């Protein structure tokens, strides 16, 4: 399929856009049973969400991605 891209919905404002123009971001979500004892059950999962460019700029997603990439490059260099 040429020229057809799957549409995604912005997680913040609800705007529809092509997936290649959206900003993908992995967001960590944690769930807890809150039983208040030693055997509390906690779940942590990563969820892939999409933002339109204007919402990504407003939420500073580009800066977070740059910081994360810099952190990962430091790990590889042995610092």
pLDDT score at 45: 87
Instruction: Give the residue, 61 or 41, on which the prediction is more confident.
Output: 61
Least confident of 28-32, 55-59, 66-70: 28-32
The model's pTM:
0.70
Domain boundaries, the chain: 7-77
Q: Contacts from 4-12 at CB under 8 Å and sequence distance 24+?
A: 8/50, 9/50, 10/50, 10/51, 10/52, 10/55, 11/49, 11/50, 11/51, 11/55, 12/51, 12/52, 12/55, 12/58, 12/59
pLDDT bucket at 78, cuts 50 / 70 / 90: low
pLDDT bucket at 1, cuts 50 / 70 / 90: low
Mean pLDDT computed over 44-70? 91
């Amino acid at each position: 399929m040429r020229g057809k891209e799957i549409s995604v919905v912005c997680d913040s404002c609800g705007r529809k856009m092509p997936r290649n123009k959206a900003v993908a971001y992995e967001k960590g979500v944690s769930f807890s049973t809150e039983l208040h004892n030693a055997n509390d059950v906690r779940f942590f999962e990563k969820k892939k969400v999409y933002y339109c460019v204007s919402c990504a700029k407003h939420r500073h997603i580009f800066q977070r991605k740059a910081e994360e990439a810099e952190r990962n490059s430091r790990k590889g260099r042995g610092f």
